Amino acid sequence: MSRPLTLALTKGRILKETLPLLAQAGIEPLEDVSASRKLVFETTVPGLQLVIIRGTDVPTYVRHGAADLGVVGKDILLEQGADGLYEPLDLNIARCRLMTAGPVGWQRGGARVRVATKFVNVARRHFARQGLHAEVIKLYGAMELAPMMDLADLIVDIVDTGNTLRANGMEPLEEIASISSRLVVNKAAMRAQHGPIQKVVDRIAAAVAARAA
Ligand code: AMP
């Protein structure tokens, strides 16, 4: 038998939506992932295991071939680039928008703008396309705090309901990209293990299609 395939899942909010979709595809962890501190789980599909890691690490595992497949938000793929990855499937889960946002009523003063975000590459590209010089400040969380404390004028962040923005006196401004979670596959693994990987992709694709029907 060939070596087991590994599917890397993004933990947190995306995982909560991924597990029911995988269950619909007939792929279920053999133990309750939320009741365990383990990071690796066997599944109901022999030869397919899950690892559960941070979203920002999923492309790294898959790009290096440490995982063959992964589930990750498009926001992270846009930020990190998709070198070495195929993106065969939009899973249509964890939908949200990547947006610029600012304090309610904020008006641009000049051609310079300070932007706080964890999506520094996305933010640079977005403001460059508009011909604006953005000073992009990398943060790892609580982006809404930055304008309040005068660290930045604007933020680039994920917006779902907009409640987080509103609770902090901010409003969404421009949509940069519409986001959902994607299935990614290591390009070399796709060639070397085409049959088994395609089977997993097909199972998940069928579950996505059944939901859309
Ligand atoms: P909301 O208050 O509903 O606009 O949610 C905004 C916050 O929830 C953002 O700052 C994100 O950190 C998080 N969030 C919402 N949707 C997603 C998603 N699909 N993937 C990752 N994080 C999300």
Q: What is the pLDDT of residues 95-154, one digit of tens each?
A: 999 999 999 999 988 778 999 999 999 999 999 999 898 999 999 999 999 999 999 999
Beta-sheet pairing, 5-10 with 69-73: parallel
The string of pLDDT tens digits covering residues 46-83 is 999 999 999 999 999 999 999 999 999 999 999 999 99
CA distance 207 to 199: 13
The neighbouring-strand residues paired with 178 are 97
Cβ–ligand 1 distance for 96 under 6 Å, the answer yes
Please report the domains of the chain, with CATH numbers, ordered by start residue: 5-94+180-212 (3.40.190.10), 96-177 (3.40.190.10)
CA distance 203 to 25: 5
Mean pLDDT of 12-41: 97
List the strands of the sheet with 69-73, edge to edge: 40-42, 48-53, 5-10, 69-73, 181-186, 85-90
pLDDT at 72: 98
User: pTM to 2 decimals?
Assistant: 0.95
The ligand 1 atom at the shortest distance from the C-alpha of residue 180 is 19
Answer yes or no: is pLDDT of 1 > 90: no
The alpha carbon of residue 181 and the mean position of all alpha carbons in its chain are separated, in whole angstroms, by: 6
Residue nearest to atom 18 of ligand 1 (CA): 94
Amino acid type, 83:
D
pLDDT at 2: 63
Residue nearest to atom 20 of ligand 1 (CA): 94
Q: In this structure, are residues 173 and 156 in contact, taking their beta carbons and an 8 Å threshold?
A: no
Cβ–ligand 1 distance for 157 under 6 Å, the answer yes
* Among 11, 56, 158, 171, residue to substitute to test ligand 1 (most atoms within 8 Å of Cβ): 158
Q: How far is the CA of 152 from the centre of ligand 1 (A)?
A: 20
Cα dist from 127 to 23, 73, 154, 164, whole Å: 41, 22, 11, 23
Q: How far is the CA of 95 from the centre of ligand 1 (A)?
A: 9
Answer yes or no: is pLDDT of 33 > 80: yes
Cβ–ligand 1 distance for 158 under 6 Å, the answer yes
Cβ–ligand 1 distance for 16 under 6 Å, the answer no
Q: How far is the CA of 197 from the centre of ligand 1 (A)?
A: 30
Residue nearest to atom 15 of ligand 1 (CA): 160
* Among 16, 139, 160, residue to substitute to test ligand 1 (most atoms within 8 Å of Cβ): 160
The string of pLDDT tens digits covering residues 37-50 is 999 999 999 999 99
pLDDT at 206: 98
Where is 24: in which H helix or E strand?
Answer: helix 13-24
